[in-house]
């Protein structure tokens, strides 16, 4: 393996990084790796608690990909065991445990989406149920003896719950120990995580020291702010851009982010070079509109290809700027003289995920028929012979309703 000079590797590794603990140890590991021509083991553990990934998840996956491109071994741990415990990070109450079946189902979807970012041929894929599941109760007791309750209560989320007299289950104390044991088992050199994972990553470092191993370096990435510009990206906050979303939706959502996030998104979720980033920062300040289109195009190209990205821009210009219904909008035919509730039409056309979402969009003015906003969920459409309606749901979903 022909490794790049350490300073060049470090420039890539530090891109978008919040903290490296300790950075000097990482430099020494990189020097040793280059001298011995041996890849470092880079660990990223993910609990498949949900099946769908968004750009927020891609931040840490892209960092793992950067290590891959530098020639290091990327180890993606599917937390088949830890997901059943439930990561207490950031939780103000005990998280319900998932069943093994739920974890396995989510894991399959997670892996297929993660492989859109990682180099599959260079990724070591493991599941921590393979080693944590074999531990005896005595093994767990011995592992628990390596961390004090006082140290555990140092965790911000635990200390807040303790001060507020909110329950903390004993099994939640076991989560960082289980994650740390992953590091011991794999003898990882570097572990990646979000800023909210710092405690868990440091526990892994401590357990490696106790085991006589050279401790891992902990690298923390920021939590990506969602399209609303205030909360972290999450499907729960409806401020996410899914990596499996259609190209038109991905492009349109990327354009909805606040101007001040343009550079951050370029840095954290795109594949533009470090050299390009320098000029993009100034462009975002001087011409946010066109730079944001460049961002939307870049993100859409990464997941759907150049042709789809170009088509998505054209679709946006036609439907949002010119307010035209796209030529390829689906058509739905109804019997002349029939009367159908608009809510049912939208549901049957699968233009929203649920009737509840449709009602919410109606209330917010997000549903229109022939450019007239429909806010009444009981509104009915009467199909007179030969009459055609143009239906718009949200900013990016269109359909033609034709009678006869």
Let me know if residue 313 belongs to a domain.
yes
Residue where one domain finishes, among candidates 199, 221, 243: 221
**Cα atoms in the 13 Å half-sphere on the side-chain side of 254:** 37
- Answer yes or no: is pLDDT of 249 > 80: yes
Residues 186 and 137 in one domain: yes
Residues 198 and 62 in one domain: yes
Residues 38 and 182 in one domain: yes
Residues 32 and 126 in one domain: yes
Let me know if residue 326 belongs to a domain.
no
Residues 196 and 299 in one domain: no
Give the count of beta carbons closer than 10 Å to the beta carbon of residue 341.
Answer: 13
Residues 104 and 131 in one domain: yes
Q: Which CATH number fits the domain that encloses residue 278?
A: 1.10.240.10
Let me know if residue 164 belongs to a domain.
yes
Indicate the pTM of the whole model.
0.80
Mean pLDDT of 296-321: 91
Domain count, the chain: 3
DSSP states of 316-328 as a string?
HIIIIIS-PPPTT
Q: Which CATH number fits the domain that encloses residue 205?
A: 3.40.50.620
Residues 185 and 298 in one domain: no
Residue where one domain finishes, among candidates 303, 321, 339: 321
Residues 274 and 351 in one domain: no
Name the residue range of residue 267's domain: 235-321
Contacts of 208 (CB under 8 A, 6+ apart): 180, 183, 184, 187, 188, 214, 215, 216
DSSP state of 227: T
- The answer to whether 259 and 292 are in contact (CB under 8 A) is yes
| Helix (H) or strand (E) segment spanning residue 57 | helix 55-69
Q: Would you say 209 is a known binding-site residue? A: no
Q: Which of 179, 185, 171 is nearest to 218 (CA)?
A: 179
Determine the number of helices (DSSP H) and then strands (DSSP E) in the chain: 18, 13
Let me know if residue 1 belongs to a domain.
no
Residues 343 and 303 in one domain: no
pLDDT of residue 323: 66
At 19-29, the pLDDT tens digits run 999 999 999 99
- Answer yes or no: is pLDDT of 328 > 90: no
Give the count of beta carbons closer than 10 Å to the beta carbon of residue 326.
Answer: 15
Residue where one domain finishes, among candidates 192, 221, 250: 221
Name the average pLDDT for the chain: 90
pLDDT of residue 30: 98
Give the count of beta carbons closer than 10 Å to the beta carbon of residue 191.
Answer: 29
């Amino acid at each position: 393996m022909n490794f790049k000079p350490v300073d060049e590797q470090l420039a890539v590794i530090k891109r978008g990084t919040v903290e490296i603990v300790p950075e000097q140890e990482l430099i020494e590991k990189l020097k040793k790796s280059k001298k011995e021509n041996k890849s470092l083991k880079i660990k990223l553990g993910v609990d498949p608690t949900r099946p769908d990934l968004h750009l927020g998840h891609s931040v840490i996956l892209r960092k793992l990909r950067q290590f891959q491109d530098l020639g290091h071994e990327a180890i993606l741990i599917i937390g088949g065991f830890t997901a059943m415990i439930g990561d207490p990070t950031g939780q103000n109450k005990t998280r319900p445990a998932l069943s093994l079946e739920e974890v396995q189902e989510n894991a399959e979807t997670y892996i297929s989406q993660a492989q859109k970012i990682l180099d599959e041929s260079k990724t070591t894929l493991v599941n921590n149920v393979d080693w944590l599941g074999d531990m005896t109760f005595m093994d767990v007791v011995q592992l628990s003896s390596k961390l004090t309750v006082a140290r555990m209560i140092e965790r911000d989320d635990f200390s807040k719950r303790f001060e507020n007299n909110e329950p903390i289950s004993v099994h939640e104390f076991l989560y960082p120990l289980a994650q740390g044991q992953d590091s011991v088992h794999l003898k990882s050199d570097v572990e990646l995580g979000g800023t909210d994972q710092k405690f868990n990553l440091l526990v892994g470092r401590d357990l490696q020291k106790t085991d006589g191993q050279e401790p891992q370096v902990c690298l923390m990435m920021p939590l990506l702010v969602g399209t609303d510009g205030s909360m972290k990206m999450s499907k729960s906050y409806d401020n996410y851009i899914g990596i499996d979303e259609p190209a038109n939706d991905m492009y349109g959502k990327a354009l909805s982010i606040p101007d001040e996030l343009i550079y951050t998104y370029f840095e954290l979720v795109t594949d533009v070079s470090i050299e390009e980033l320098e000029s993009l920062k100034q462009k975002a300040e001087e011409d946010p509109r066109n730079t944001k289109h460049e961002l939307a195009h870049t993100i859409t190209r990464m997941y759907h290809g150049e042709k789809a990205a170009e088509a998505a821009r054209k679709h946006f210009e036609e439907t949002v700027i010119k307010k035209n219904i796209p030529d390829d909008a689906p058509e739905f035919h109804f019997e002349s003289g029939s009367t159908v509730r608009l809510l049912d039409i939208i549901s049957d056309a699968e233009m929203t995920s649920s009737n509840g979402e449709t009602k919410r969009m109606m209330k917010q003015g997000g549903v229109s028929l022939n450019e007239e906003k429909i806010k009444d969920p009981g509104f009915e459409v009467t199909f007179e012979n030969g009459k055609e309606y143009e239906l718009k749901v949200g900013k990016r979903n269109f359909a033609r309703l034709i009678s006869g």
